[in-house]
A and B are shown apart, each in its own frame.
Chain A
Amino acid sequence: MKVADIQTGAKLPDLRIDITAKLIVGGAIASRDYQDVHHDKAAAQALGSPDIFMNILTTNGLVGRYVTDWAGAGARLGAVNIRLGAPNFPGDCMTFSGEVSSVDAESGEVVVAVAGRNRLGDHVTGTVTVGMPA
């Protein structure tokens, strides 16, 4: 995809991510985050949480992937700004949606507003900036 192919207001296809214990633990370990609430259910429950929950770096990685999957191999990630909301627990499903909020045809900079919702509400909202080829 090139910057000329992208219009402000364009919608990204939704992406459903099944939230499994495997994804939560796998993402935590891939990001070298060994906090017990991301792999140890008893430890998470002792802190008042019903189950283990996804760490921030995994959320960040998934948000980046959602936008670059759409923008294609020519896109370069410039920024990922996220606000954190309801936790991602095993057994849930998070659906990403996105919409192009600005396009700078000259610089190739495209900003996408992203939300990832699960059954509790917004897990994550934010913006992703990508540089697109001319």
Chain B
Amino acid sequence: MSAAPDFSDYLGGDFGPFLAWDEVNAPMIRHWCEAMGDSNPMYTDAEAARAAGFDDIVAPPTMLMAWTMNGYGGKKPPGSGEGNALAVLAAMQAAGYPAVVAVNCEQEYERYLQVGDRVHYRATCEAISEEKTTALGTGFFVTELSTFYNQRDEIVGRQRFRVLQYRPAGQ
């Protein structure tokens, strides 16, 4: 059996900035809260948000990634950087690990976003595991770290997104 390929050249990098199509806004927050069944008033009522110590309506922190999604058109907003911190996944696919599954999502929040804020993020490939065999098959755990900023370049939060790129068991 041959040794597992080495993908360590794909570690690191600094990709971005990846911008948001829209500033943080009350309609998108309300649509999110309706779908999630979240009735916390500081997400929809400016008075309640001020009573909670904010200047205006705030967004649920779990919306962090939603602000910078490409959306229906599948395109990044103009001014966004090029590249992809998870380019290693295509290389793994080409090397005989065709399947991918999301394993973990870890978000930490430094500050609440409020209406009018502009979000962007930068991304890096933080970790690539040794080749591992799991119940699904044999492959690599890959972690993308995205750091989110507001318009003042203050850190809003971080997201670690971990996937397993693998060759299904029995193949």
Which residues of A are interface residues toward B (Cβ below 8 A)? 17, 23, 26-27, 29-34, 56-58, 60-65, 68-69, 73-74, 76-84, 129
- Does B63 sit within 8 A of A, measured CB to CB? yes
Inter-chain CA distance A84–B102, complex, in Å, is: 7
Residue B78 interfacial (CB < 8 Å):
no
Q: Which residues of A contact B134 (CB under 8 A)?
A: none
A31 with B42, Cβ < 8 A, contacts A56-B105, A81-B107 known: no
Enumerate 16 A-B pairs (CB-CB under 8 Å) in ascending A order: A29-B31, A30-B28, A30-B34, A30-B66, A32-B69, A32-B72, A61-B35, A61-B36, A63-B62, A64-B61, A65-B40, A69-B38, A74-B52, A77-B61, A78-B109, A80-B106
A31-B107 contact given A56-B102, A68-B40, CB 8 Å threshold: no
Which residues of B, 18-76, contact A by the 8 Å Cβ criterion? 28, 31-32, 34-38, 40-42, 48, 52, 60-63, 65-66, 69-72, 74
**Residues of chain B having any CB pair with chain A under 8 Å:** 28, 31-32, 34-38, 40-42, 48, 52, 60-63, 65-66, 69-72, 74, 101-109, 112
Known: A58-B35, A77-B62, A81-B106. 16 other contacts (CB 8 A): A23-B35, A30-B31, A30-B32, A30-B35, A31-B69, A34-B72, A61-B38, A62-B36, A62-B37, A64-B62, A68-B38, A68-B40, A79-B108, A80-B106, A82-B106, A84-B105
Closest-by-CB residue of A relative to B66 is A31
Contact A34 B109 (CB under 8 A): no
Partner pick for B60 among A34, A64, A73, A84, CB 8 A cutoff: A64
Q: Is the CB of A84 within 8 A of B104?
A: yes
Please name all residues of chain B whose beta carbon is closer than 8 Å to the beta carbon of A78 when the two chains form the complex: 108-109
Bound Cα distance from A88 to B38, whole angstroms: 19
Contacts of A79 in B (CB 8 A): 106-109
Contact A27 to B109, CB < 8 A, known contacts A57-B65, A84-B102: no
Q: Shortest beta-carbon distance, B142 to chain A, in Å?
A: 15
Query: Are A58 and B36 touching (Cβ within 8 A)?
Result: yes
Cα separation A29 to B60 with both chains bound (whole Å): 16
Are the C-beta atoms of A61 and B60 separated by less than 8 Å? yes
Asked if B35 and A57 make an inter-chain contact with CB atoms under 8 angstroms apart, the answer reads: no
Give the chain B neighbours of A30 by CB distance below 8 A.
Answer: 28, 31-32, 34-36, 66
Nearest-CB distance from A115 to chain B (Å)?
15
Q: Are A60 and B102 in contact (CB under 8 A)?
A: no
